[in-house]
Structure 1
Amino acid sequence: MISLILTADLEGVTALQPTDTPENPYFYTFRVQCNSCHEVHPNWVSFNRFEQHEIPGSRGEANFVWKCRLCTQTHSASIIAGPNTVQPQDKRKGQKVIDMDCRGLEFIEFKPDGEWEAKGAESSTLFAGIDLSDGEWYDYDEKTSEEVSIKEISWDVGRT
């Protein structure tokens, strides 16, 4: 199993998660590497947890199916847990966003395309449309008259 892990300093916000509903799915974007020949796909790949694709030569389905162009092996991945909400805590400790069952491939880098959402820690104000692609986010909570932020963002994709 591979997990997408977020480490960040959440100030004044809690319950950070991707905006991910059947009507508005979050497309998880990764760099992918073949476990057979270790070829890294030259482009970013994206998939969501609601779409299912048939795996050639199998009766199974997966969220992401990829055929390596170098060794021609077919690989797959499915999101099996999440998205989880990220809570404020020790900023050196990462928290799982999603868990994936990967067969024959590894995701080696994550790109936070898409929108995220969070709630004000003291006010429960909903902050929607959060863009984490710059590595930080700042806003103002009208109910508490305080600045809120998400900083020192880092991503890790690893086996758990």
Structure 2
Amino acid sequence: MVLLLLSIKAELENIAFLEPSDGFDYFFRVKCTSCNEQHPKLVSLNRAEEFEVSGSKGNTAHFVWRCSLCKRGSSAKFDPSKTLSYTEEHSGQLAPFLKIECRGLEFTSFEPRGSWTCHGTTGTVFKDVDLVENDMWTDYDEKVGLPVSVSEFDSEWRRA
């Protein structure tokens, strides 16, 4: 078992914090640790969905996968701690975001697809923020007449 930590980085302009919306689907690239075969497509995980791990005694995981090359079964489960918000204090730096317990696989990259929520420094909430399009999101906070944006999104996996 390996515990992986995903850290994210972004430039925030007039944004207090950025977080995944409820029911967020996380999209990752995955590789088998047995044969090092990388799955050709992105895989998605959702905290609300759990699947039975075959060959175990009632264990569940958020992702269950069988490598197409070596046929080894693998699984991944979110650490029970809450996903962390990315705050303006972190802007431009890598900050811990979430942990995942992996058995027989490793995640190699993260795509910020899905619906994010941004909270402006004035308290304005921006929902359904899309960070995939042009690697940038911009809007306007009418409360204070300032632009808001998230740009230069990046991520990194490390062993926790």
TM-score with structure 1 setting the length? 0.92
CA deviation vs aligned residue, 1:56-110 (integer Å, no higher than 9, x gap): 0002100000011111111100111332111012544211221111111100011
Shift of 1:39: 0.4
> Does 2:86 align with 1:95?
no
- The unaligned stretches of length 5 or more in structure 1 are none
Percent of residue pairs bearing the same amino acid type: 38
Deviates more, 1:92-101 or 1:28-37: 92-101
Alpha-carbon spacing, 1:4–1:120, altered in 2? closer, same or farther (3 Å): same
Q: Which residue is equivalent to 2:26?
A: 28
Confirm or deny: 8 A CA contact 2:46 2:62 kept in the other structure: yes
> Does 2:138 align with 1:106?
no
Shift of 1:158: 2.2
Mapped partners of 1:116, 1:90: distance in 2: 17
Report the secondary structure of 2:55's partner residue: coil
* Paired residues, number: 155
Mapped partners of 1:12, 1:2: distance in 2: 31
Structure 1 segment 67-86 matched on structure 2, within 5 A: 67-80=66-79, 81-86=81-86
Report the secondary structure of 1:124's partner residue: coil
CA deviation vs aligned residue, 1:100-136 (integer Å, no higher than 9, x gap): 1111110001111101001111x10001111111311
Q: Which residue is equivalent to 2:6?
A: 4
Shift of 1:51: 0.7
Letter matched to residue 72 of structure 1? K
- The unaligned stretches of length 5 or more in structure 2 are none
Report the secondary structure of 2:153's partner residue: strand
Mapped partners of 1:48, 1:90: distance in 2: 25
Q: Which residue is equivalent to 1:62?
A: 61
Mapped partners of 1:113, 1:75: distance in 2: 23
Mapped partners of 1:8, 1:62: distance in 2: 29
